[in-house]
Structure formats: C-alpha cells, structure tokens
C-alpha cells in the first residue's frame, strides 16, 4: 500500500485535494470514483502521518469545527457517500491542521476495519464522551446520518447559549474593569500629585482626606507586593480549580450561590433535556443513556448527585422521583419527566422542553445582569465621588476658614491650577 497526494474533481467541476492510501494510481482512481470524484493528478507521498503523541497530547477541537463536521458528514451520509469516503472528503476541507491530522488517523483506523466510534474513542481527550456515545448508537441503529445531524443541532444550540452568556456578561465585566482602573488611576497618579501640591502650600491634611491619602501612600509603597499577591492568588485559585476537589468546590458554588444559581441550574437542565432526549430518541436504553449523558453537565457537583439518582433508577425507582430526591432539576422538569414516563414518550417530552429551558437561561441571565449593572454603576460613581471629595476637601476648608478672602481664594485657585495641569 502506498500513500498518494492527489487532486480530483467532481461532476460540478469542484476541485478536491488530499492524501489517500491505495495500491497504485489505478486503485486510487477507483477508490475516488466511488466517492463521486475523478482523479486529475497523483503523486506518491512520503510524509508520515502525525503520531498521536505529538499531535493529540492535550489537543482540542473547537465547537464550531465539531458542529461543521457533524453537519457536513450527515449530508454526505444522507446523500449515499460511504462512511470512509465521507471522512476522506472531510479531511481535505478547511478545518484546522490539527483536526485534519486527527481525521487522517481516524480514516486509517476505519480503513483498517475499526468501527468509527472505536476509532474516535482512541482520541477520547478530544471527542466528548457524549459525542462518542451518540456515534456508537448511530452505528448500532444504522441511522448514523440522523445521529450526526442531531449532534450538529445539539452543538449549535449549546454554542448559541454560550454566546448569549458571554454577551450578557460582557458589559458588567467592562464596568467592573473600568471601576477598578479608574480608582487605581486616582489613587496611584492623581492623588499623590495633588498631595505634593498641598504640602508645598502648607495646607493641612486631616480627617477623611488624610485616610484616603494614606491609602494612596500604602499602594504606592507596596504596589509591587500587592501585584505579586494578586498574581499568586489568581494562579493558586486556577491550580486549585484543576484539582478534583477544587473543581468540585467551584462547581458547587455555581449551582448554590444566590445570584448565579438559577442561571446554572437552567443551563444544566437544558443540556440534560437535549442530550438525554437525543440518546433515547436514537434508540439507547435508559441505563446506558444515564451513563452517557452526565458528561453534558460540565459540573462535578451535579454529576455526583446525578450518579446517585442513576443508581436509584437502576434499582427500580422512577426517573422523576430519583431526580427530585437529589434536587437535580427544577420541579417543572421533574413533572415533565413524570409525564413522559407515564406516556412512554420521554424522548419527545425532553426534546420539546429544550426550547423552554433555553429561554429560561436567557431570561435569568438578563435578570442577573439587570441587577448587577446598576450596582456596578453605583459603585463606580460612588467611589469616584468619594475620591474627588477627598481631593477637593482641602480647597473647601481653605475657602471656608478664610471666609472667602482674596488670599483663600487665590490659594484655592493655585491648588486647582496644579490639579488641572496634571
């Protein structure tokens, strides 16, 4: 067998290029013709396929790439393109170099007789467990094209929810950054210069103004240590979050902190409804679906409680009762599941409920941001007012103490002149 680098066209005169393993050029032409492609040119290719060690170490593929792969593969399979032929075409498409090398390795494994799900399982750190489970279901049922299309829908919806979440949180994060930046600007640059001016004019600094100036002096004297402390704290929290205990702790906070609790619960519920519904609709039995779906939560605390509920279900407890026992989802979701179990239409009920909880995520996000934004605006405005009052208080005291005399007015004007020339 020889690996060839080829150029081919289809009936629509579209050009395709890539690499293909064949006995010779004649065999290459035959294999490409089965995919609706006609060989234009070919040459032996001596380059080695990247090894998993160097290519896949900690690699990831984007959600956009995974969605596009699922959608395009579904179209090809539905059009009658073979399993192997679809991979051959897709690995020549405009995916990232990493994803193309990944598809090349999967292609070679499938060509050697391996099941597609097994070939993808070799790269379990790249392809999510839920994705691989769905592929396996599609292979068993002979509905891989439908499963691929369903996966594309799933990841498109998940991507849309993540995008809305980022958009909703963007403005509050900008406000928070501006608040911190403006206050640091005042304390580190404006106030020290102002204090120097007051000292030159022998203006006494007392009370609240002195406290603010002392804070400024402390920051100036220790900014390097404080910066180091902030960096160390952030790194420590990040490293802690990568440990099992840390991940569990952070995930616990996500679903229990008052302000963000409802957002994350609705998000978990939406993912479960869509994922579990797809698995059941594809023909997977309940117990296997329970094992496969927990990966969609992306929350270790919820996963731990879900495992307990799943164990109760395996011992004969109804799904709705088990989920309610461990307070996994909102009550309305438990009620929907109970209806689905009674009517033997659980997959349909779950898939229909997805849109409801998608909207619930967006609604709760808007509610949270509508509460956060006024608070941040008030915080930013309030701190700036406090700092400006502290800065200008000596001017007011001078003018008041001197009864508005020319001397007092001139001194205040001198101070103001120094400030506005900063």
Q: Do residues 179 and 35 share a domain?
A: no
Q: Are 147 and 135 in contact (CB under 8 A)?
A: yes
pLDDT tens profile 148-170: 888 888 888 888 888 888 888 88
Alpha-carbon gap, residue 412 to 221, rounded angstroms = 29
pLDDT of residue 2: 58
* Helix, strand or coil, per DSSP, at residue 327: coil
Tokens of 223: 């900014």
Kindly state whether residue 353 falls inside one of the protein's structural domains: yes
- Quote the pLDDT of residue 325: 92
Residue 270 has pLDDT above 70, yes or no: yes
In a domain, 293, yes or no: yes
The pLDDT confidence band at residue 237, using thresholds 50, 70 and 90, is very high
Domain boundary among 47, 62, 78: 47
- Residues 334-361 have a mean pLDDT of 88
Per the model's pLDDT, the better-predicted residue between 2 and 390 turns out to be 390
What digits encode the pLDDT tens for the residues 85-97? Answer: 888 888 877 678 8
* Residue 196 domain-assigned (yes or no): yes
Q: What pLDDT, in 10s, does the model give residues 382-399?
A: 888 888 777 777 766 665
Domains contained in the chain, number? 2
- Is residue 133 situated within a structural domain? no
173 and 40 share a domain?
A: no
Q: What is the pTM of this model?
A: 0.67
* Contact between 155 and 66 (Cβ < 8 Å): yes
Q: How confident is the model at residue 311 (pLDDT cuts 50, 70, 90)?
A: very high
Please report whether residue 306 resides in a domain.
yes
70 domain-assigned: no
Q: Has residue 376 been placed in a domain?
A: yes
More confident residue, 421 or 56: 421
**C-beta of residue 110 within 8 angstroms of C-beta of residue 116:** yes
Least trusted range by pLDDT, from 202-206, 209-213, 255-259: 202-206
HSE, side-chain direction, 13 A CA sphere, residue 341: 14
* Residue 43 placed within a domain: yes
Tell me how far apart the alpha carbons of residues 212 and 216 are, in angstroms, rounded to a whole number.
6
pLDDT for residue 417: 55
Residue 239 is part of which domain span?
A: 169-422
Nearest to 337 by CA among 290, 288, 296: 290
């Amino acid at each position: 067998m020889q690996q060839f680098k080829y150029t081919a066209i289809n009936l629509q005169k579209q050009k395709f290029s890539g690499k293909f393993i064949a006995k010779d050029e004649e065999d290459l032409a035959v294999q490409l013709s089965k995919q609706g492609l006609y060989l234009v040119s070919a040459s032996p290719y001596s380059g080695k396929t990247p090894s998993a060690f160097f290519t896949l170490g900690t690699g990831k593929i984007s959600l956009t790439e995974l969605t596009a792969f699922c959608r395009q593969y579904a179209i090809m399979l539905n059009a009658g393109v073979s399993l192997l032929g679809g991979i051959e075409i897709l690995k020549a498409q405009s995916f990232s170099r990493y994803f193309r090398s990944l598809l090349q390795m999967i292609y070679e494994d499938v060509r050697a007789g391996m099941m597609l799900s097994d070939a993808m399982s070799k790269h379990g750190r790249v392809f999510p467990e839920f994705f691989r489970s769905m592929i396996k279901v599609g292979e068993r049922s002979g509905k891989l094209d439908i499963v691929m299309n369903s996966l594309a829908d799933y990841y498109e919806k998940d991507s849309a929810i993540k995008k809305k979440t980022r958009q909703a949180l963007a403005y509050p994060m900008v406000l928070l950054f501006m608040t911190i930046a403006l206050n640091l600007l005042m304390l580190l640059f404006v106030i020290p210069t102002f204090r120097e001016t007051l000292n030159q004019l022998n203006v006494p600094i007392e009370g609240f103004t002195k406290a603010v100036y002392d804070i400024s002096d402390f920051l100036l004297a220790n900014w390097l240590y404080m910066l180091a402390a902030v960096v160390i704290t952030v790194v420590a929290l990040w490293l802690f979050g990568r440990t099992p205990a840390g991940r569990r702790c952070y995930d616990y906070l996500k679903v229990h902190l008052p302000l963000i609790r409802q957002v994350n619960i609705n998000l978990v519920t939406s993912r479960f409804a869509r994922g579990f519904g797809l698995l059941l609709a594809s023909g997977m039995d309940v117990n296997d679906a329970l094992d496969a779906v927990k990966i969609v939560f992306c929350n270790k605390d919820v996963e731990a409680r879900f495992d307990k509920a799943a164990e109760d279900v395996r011992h004969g407890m109804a799904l709705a009762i088990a989920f309610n026992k461990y307070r996994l989802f909102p009550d309305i979701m438990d009620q929907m599941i109970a209806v689905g179990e009674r009517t033997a239409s659980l997959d349909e009920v779950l898939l229909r409920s997805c849109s409801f909880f998608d909207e619930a995520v967006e609604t709760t996000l808007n509610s949270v941001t509508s509460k956060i934004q006024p608070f941040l605006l008030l915080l930013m405005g309030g701190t700036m007012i406090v700092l400006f009052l502290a800065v200008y208080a000596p001017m007011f005291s001078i003018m008041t103490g001197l009864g508005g005399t020319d001397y007092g007015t001139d001194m205040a004007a001198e101070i103001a002149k120094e400030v506005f020339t900063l």
